[in-house]
Amino acid sequence: MSKRIIINFLRFIVLVFIQVFLLKNINLYDLSTPYLYILFILLLPFEVPNVLLFALSFILGLTIDAFYDTPGLHAAACVVLAFVRILFISITVQKDGFDNEPEPTLSIMGLRWFLAYAVVLTFVHHFFLLNLEAFSLSQIEFTISRILLSSVFTVFLILISGLLFFKRKERK
């Protein structure tokens, strides 16, 4: 087994565990709920085939759905997140640019790119997930405020975790 497969498997287990047993209970005034588990999809290596990316995203979403009792909401949002990830990476990263940098991490890609990456993908995930959850336009202001505040909270946790595991690039 490759070292990357083991690292990503452990990342999957740890992020699901943190989401289900810790972050599920954090809900700030019913407005902000962090969904840190999406970090698994965000940190998958660039060279993961699209079919595998969609399959892993769906499995991650179903795993979270099993613990949240939400039939398919997280799975659908994770698949949309995988699609937007493919689009974002194809637009912002040149194909020759990541031969030596296999993963989109904060330490490899830099703060500006990683922050834009995390903000856009988190917002899309939360927009899709929380609109599916509400499934009504009667409280659109409340839903939009939940999307914005949850996105800010999640991006904050993503940046904190990125800084915790930050590795400086070695100059050649």
Summarize pLDDT for 46-69 with one digit per residue, the tens. 888 999 999 999 999 999 999 998
pLDDT at position 172 is 38
CA dihedral 148, 153, 156, 157 (to 10 degrees): -140
Residue 170 falls inside a structural domain: no
Residue 95 falls inside a structural domain: yes
Number of independent structural domains in the chain: 1
Mean pLDDT of 28-32: 81
Residue 79 falls inside a structural domain: yes
Tens-digit pLDDT profile for residues 157-166:
999 988 887 6
Query: For the chain, what's the residue count?
Result: 172
> Which segments of the chain does DSSP mark as H helices, in order?
3-21, 39-42, 50-68, 73-92, 106-109, 111-134, 140-164
Residue 169 falls inside a structural domain: no
Residue 172 falls inside a structural domain: no
Domain range for 16 is: 3-25+32-164
Residue 154 falls inside a structural domain: yes
pTM: predicted TM-score of the whole model, two decimal places: 0.88
